């Protein structure tokens, strides 16, 4: 790419087309699939041995074991078969959010796969130069009950401690009016019921939110001029399956296939009636393809990052893969649940991630309904600067719907107010059963996870509180719905640490009138911590953000309460390495369990130290001389060293680490990173890469906007990113010179700072 092309008239940069993924050979298996999606649906699409296949995933499809199940696999065959030709092309068209497949010589065919952004409908449109017959099959490996054994249970909420008889129950799949109806209906007892009993909450069970009760998810597959044509059995990779066939009644030059998905917690009759009503309505409507494409085009106009580098070089890959990662996130913009860090909607057969895990395509490491906030946060932070505020709603709504459950925990166990969100919790807000530990001592605090890595780690929710506040600052969003949530999280820390202090002695505050944050945890790493730095900075940042809201957002009494609490937060602590003052992860701690660097969390996400701020040299010392930080440094998975380096203005380190993050994954689809510490595709690997790249190009402090604070002077780049106060900056660096292309609103130009 020699230089930057001009913008198109609709505001969408031309470079986006050059980032489309185009394959000219068919795939060997599902690991060589291509993501496609929209709304809350994700597909893995590939062509293998002349047949089109794709997995179907939808947000919120949780079974009794809280595994996130796929709907199934679809297989399409054409006869005569144009895909037997060596002429083949499969392309992900980013600007339209769809996949186009072309093949054939004398007999040519084009297949378009796309998902309606506004309605849960998957479309497959086939056109051929000569009439063909089409055979579309719905394949399911859940055609009979399955009993997961050993490590396979790490794909659900039982993990290493399944109950005897744990099973994945079969789906119901039948022909109906020349279509295929498929669904999974949760049985009466789910992991929710078991967790509630295990954790001593049966007395308040009727007051707890239960997302698994009566849950039914599935859908209808039907095709134009297609009729039921029997079933067959087979085996794909490691998994037996059964297929239900729809076959065209006659040869034609055009075929259409559609799959309608339906999820509800209604009774089964209501689910069926809603599905048929939906199908009937859709049958009389025109396809909404143009509307969906318009959504994607608007999505790409919000922001971009383009690096002027030789085609397929690592720097070019970084920018291209940034867009691919953002595309995958965009496929779940209206999900009932957030994008899972351990694979999102795009996991495939697990043996291609770990050869020892020969399980069904439903498997993903670290569960489906389990929420690990330490990882999830990195999926959602980049959405502020990319301007994808609507994509953040599934994550925020996830917390809102489990808020009351978290508050009830505090009331039952400790007799005080406030929402307690543990790490490794379920999608109903209670700790994961295995992490809670079935073998815990009888007299152990019932509100605690009995787990060496997770005990007392409950400050990760503060990052989501700050994201909610930042939506107000960035986009002037109405966050009135989120304020009670934020206040409840703060109430927990205030009341719980006073509660713990009262249990230890007669004083509830230290000699300086500060809360005593003990026991605590600095991430999963520094355990049994006294005044964890990450907790201190998180509380200060959220309290300051809450108090900065307009006067009308808080009552006088609440504003006074939070101002008082802010004064009670202790200062952070420091230590030295070889005479260099550095930030300490806590005042004291008893042991180190993991490999995170929470001593640098004041840099990110809490923004205490950074370019233009006091104490920058101390933060840089921490990055360069802290022996733990140096030992833990990596670009893999959820590691965020690239973000720290960018925030500190360390250009070379930020460039090297971010390039390592975002360069091609080594898989056929270049943004399927992983497994890292989670699974493939690792969404927090990609998310942390996105954040680092953004921070290299633009940082903000109050109203100041720093451009290219950690960007190499020799690397040409153009970008469009969002800043606080509804500001959008479009700029470029060429030959070491930074030029502002546009800034909206224009009066914010005076706040731009370009560091020499």
For residue 247, the domain's CATH number is 2.70.98.50
Q: Give the domain-ending residue among 271, 302, 333.
A: 302
Q: Which residues contact residue 277 at a Cβ distance below 8 angstroms, ignoring those fewer than 6 apart? A: none
CATH code at position 715: 1.50.10.10
The verdict on residue 8 lying in a domain is: no
264 and 194, same domain (yes or no): yes
pLDDT band with cut points at 50, 70 and 90 for residue 285: confident
Percentage of the chain modeled with pLDDT above 90: 96
278 and 361, same domain (yes or no): no
Q: In the predicted model, what is the mean pLDDT of residues 263-270?
A: 95
Angstrom CA distances, 121 to 243, 263, 329, 550, 556, stand at: 21, 12, 18, 42, 49
- Between CA 218 and CA 606 the distance in angstroms is 41
515 and 642, same domain (yes or no): yes
- Number of other residues whose CB lies within 10 A of the CB of residue 135: 19
pLDDT digit string, tens, across residues 649-683: 999 999 999 999 999 999 999 999 999 999 999 99
Angle formed at CA 567 by CA 564 and CA 573, multiple of 5 degrees: 155
Q: Given a cut of 60, is residue 1 above it in pLDDT?
A: no
From 715, 643, 754, 322, select the one nearest 743 (Cα to Cα).
754
296 and 330, same domain (yes or no): no
- Number of other residues whose CB lies within 10 A of the CB of residue 631: 10
pLDDT digit string, tens, across residues 325-344: 999 999 999 999 999 999 99
Half-sphere exposure of 749 (CA within 13 A, CB side): 9
* Look-up of token digits 């079933």: 231
pLDDT digit string, tens, across residues 147-197: 999 999 999 999 999 999 999 999 999 999 999 999 999 999 999 999 999
From 740, 656, 716, select the one nearest 1 (Cα to Cα).
716
The verdict on residue 39 lying in a domain is: yes
The verdict on residue 308 lying in a domain is: no
Q: Give the predicted TM-score (pTM) of the model.
A: 0.97
pLDDT digit string, tens, across residues 532-587: 999 999 999 999 999 999 999 999 999 999 999 999 999 999 999 999 999 999 99
Q: Do residues 44 and 54 make contact, with C-beta atoms less than 8 angstroms apart?
A: yes
Q: Give the domain-ending residue among 302, 328, 346.
A: 302
pLDDT band with cut points at 50, 70 and 90 for residue 648: very high
* DSSP helix/strand/coil, 43: strand
pLDDT band with cut points at 50, 70 and 90 for residue 354: very high
Q: Do residues 588 and 576 make contact, with C-beta atoms less than 8 angstroms apart?
A: no
Angstrom CA distances, 502 to 168, 172, 495, 652, stand at: 46, 55, 11, 49
User: Domain containing 119: what range?
Assistant: 15-302
State residue 2's pLDDT score.
44
- Number of other residues whose CB lies within 10 A of the CB of residue 105: 11
Q: Given a cut of 80, is residue 136 above it in pLDDT?
A: yes
- If you average pLDDT over every residue of the chain, what do you get? 96
Q: Give the domain-ending residue among 302, 337, 355.
A: 302
The verdict on residue 669 lying in a domain is: yes
pLDDT band with cut points at 50, 70 and 90 for residue 8: very low
State residue 287's pLDDT score.
80
234 and 263, same domain (yes or no): yes
DSSP secondary structure, 254-293, as one string: EEEEEEEEEEESS-HHHHHHHHHHHHHHHHTSPP-HHHHH
Q: Which residues contact residue 499 at a Cβ distance below 8 angstroms, ignoring those fewer than 6 apart? A: 414, 415, 416
Q: Which residues contact residue 51 at a Cβ distance below 8 angstroms, ignoring those fewer than 6 apart? A: 75, 76, 77, 83
* Look-up of token digits 């769809």: 98
481 and 578, same domain (yes or no): yes
Q: Count the domains in the chain.
A: 2
Q: Given a cut of 70, is residue 74 above it in pLDDT?
A: yes
pLDDT band with cut points at 50, 70 and 90 for residue 284: confident
State residue 9's pLDDT score.
36
SS3 content of the chain, % helix, strand, coil (to 5): 35, 25, 40
674 and 552, same domain (yes or no): yes
The verdict on residue 4 lying in a domain is: no
129 and 39, same domain (yes or no): yes
456 and 394, same domain (yes or no): yes
Q: Which residues pair with 222 in a beta bridge?
A: 258
Q: Given a cut of 70, is residue 199 above it in pLDDT?
A: yes
The verdict on residue 465 lying in a domain is: yes
The verdict on residue 307 lying in a domain is: no
pLDDT band with cut points at 50, 70 and 90 for residue 4: low
Q: In the predicted model, what is the mean pLDDT of residues 354-359?
A: 96
The verdict on residue 313 lying in a domain is: no
- Between CA 196 and CA 430 the distance in angstroms is 8
pLDDT digit string, tens, across residues 493-513: 999 999 999 999 999 999 999
298 and 430, same domain (yes or no): no
375 and 451, same domain (yes or no): yes
State residue 756's pLDDT score.
74
215 and 75, same domain (yes or no): yes
Q: Given a cut of 70, is residue 11 above it in pLDDT?
A: no
């Amino acid at each position: 790419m020699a230089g930057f092309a001009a913008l198109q008239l609709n505001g969408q940069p031309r470079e986006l087309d050059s980032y489309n993924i185009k394959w000219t050979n068919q795939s060997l298996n599902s690991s060589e699939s291509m993501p496609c999606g929209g709304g809350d649906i994700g597909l893995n699409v590939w062509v293998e041995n002349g047949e089109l296949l794709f997995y179907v995933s939808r947000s919120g499809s949780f079974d009794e074991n809280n595994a996130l199940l796929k709907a199934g696999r679809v297989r399409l065959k054409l006869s005569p078969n144009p895909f037997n030709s060596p002429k083949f092309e499969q392309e992900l068209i980013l600007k339209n959010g769809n996949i186009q497949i072309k093949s054939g010589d004398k007999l040519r065919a084009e297949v378009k796969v796309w998902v309606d952004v506004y309605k849960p409908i998957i479309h497959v449109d086939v056109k051929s130069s000569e009439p063909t017959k089409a055979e579309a099959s719905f394949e399911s490996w859940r055609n009979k009950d399955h009993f997961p054994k050993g490590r396979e249970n790490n794909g659900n909420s039982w993990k290493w401690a399944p109950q005897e008889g744990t099973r994945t129950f079969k789906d119901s799949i039948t022909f109906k009016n020349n279509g295929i109806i498929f669904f999974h209906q949760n049985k009466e007892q789910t992991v929710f019921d078991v967790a509630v009993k295990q954790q001593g909450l049966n007395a308040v069970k009727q007051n707890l939110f239960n997302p698994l009760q009566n849950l039914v998810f599935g859908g209808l597959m039907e095709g134009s001029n297609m009729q039921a044509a029997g079933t067959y059995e087979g085996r794909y990779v490691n998994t037996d399956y059964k297929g239900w066939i729809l076959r065209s009644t006659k040869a034609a030059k055009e075929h259409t296939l559609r799959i309608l998905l339906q999820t509800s917690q209604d009774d089964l009759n209501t689910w069926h009636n809603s599905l048929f009503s939906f199908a009937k309505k859709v049958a009389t409507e025109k396809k909404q393809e143009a509307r969906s494409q318009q959504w994607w085009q608007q999505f790409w106009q919000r922001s971009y990052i383009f690096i002027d580098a030789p085609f397929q070089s690592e720097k070019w890959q970084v920018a291209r893969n940034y867009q691919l990662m953002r595309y995958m996130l965009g496929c779940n913009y209206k999900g009932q649940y957030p994008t899972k860090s351990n694979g999102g909607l795009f996991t495939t057969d697990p043996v291609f991630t770990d050869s020892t895990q020969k399980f069904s395509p439903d498997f993903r490491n670290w569960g489906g309904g389990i929420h690990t906030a330490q990882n999830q946060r990195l999926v959602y932070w980049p959405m502020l600067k990319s301007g994808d505020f609507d994509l953040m709603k599934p994550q925020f709504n996830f917390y809102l719907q489990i808020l009351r459950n978290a508050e009830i925990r505090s009331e039952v166990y400790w007799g005080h107010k406030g929402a307690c969100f543990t790490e490794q919790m379920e999608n109903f807000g209670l700790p994961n059963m295995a992490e809670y530990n079935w073998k815990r001592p009888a007299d152990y605090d019932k509100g605690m996870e009995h787990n060496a890595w997770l005990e007392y780690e409950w400050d990760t929710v503060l990052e989501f509180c700050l994201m909610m506040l930042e939506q107000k600052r960035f986009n002037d969003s109405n966050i009135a719905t989120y304020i009670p949530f934020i206040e409840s999280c703060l109430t927990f820390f205030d009341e719980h640490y006073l509660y713990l202090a009262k249990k230890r002695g007669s004083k509830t505050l230290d000699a300086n009138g500060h809360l005593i944050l003990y026991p605590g945890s600095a991430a999963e790493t520094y355990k049994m911590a006294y005044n964890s730095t990450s907790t201190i900075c998180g509380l200060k940042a959220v309290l300051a953000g809450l108090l900065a809201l307009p006067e009308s957002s808080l009552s006088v009494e609440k504003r006074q309460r939070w101002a008082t609490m802010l004064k009670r937060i202790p200062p952070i602590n420091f230590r030295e390495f070889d005479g260099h003052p550095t930030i300490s992860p806590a005042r004291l701690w008893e042991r180190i369990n993991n490999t995170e660097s929470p001593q640098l969390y004041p840099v990110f996400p809490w923004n205490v130290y950074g370019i233009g701020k006091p104490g920058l040299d101390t933060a840089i010392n921490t990055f360069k001389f802290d022996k733990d930080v140096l030992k833990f440094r990596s670009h893999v998975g959820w590691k965020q060293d690239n973000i720290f380096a960018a925030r500190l203005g360390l250009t070379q380190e930020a460039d090297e680490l971010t390039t390592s993050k975002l360069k091609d994954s080594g898989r056929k689809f270049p943004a399927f990173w992983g497994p890292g510490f989670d699974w493939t595709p690792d969404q927090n690997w990609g998310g942390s890469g996105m954040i680092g790249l953004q921070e290299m190009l633009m940082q903000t402090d109050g109203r100041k906007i720093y451009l290219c604070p950690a960007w190499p002077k020799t690397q040409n780049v153009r970008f469009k990113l969002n800043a606080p106060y509804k500001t959008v900056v479009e700029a470029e660096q060429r030959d070491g010179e930074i030029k502002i292309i546009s800034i909206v609103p224009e009066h914010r130009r005076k706040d731009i700072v370009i560091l020499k």
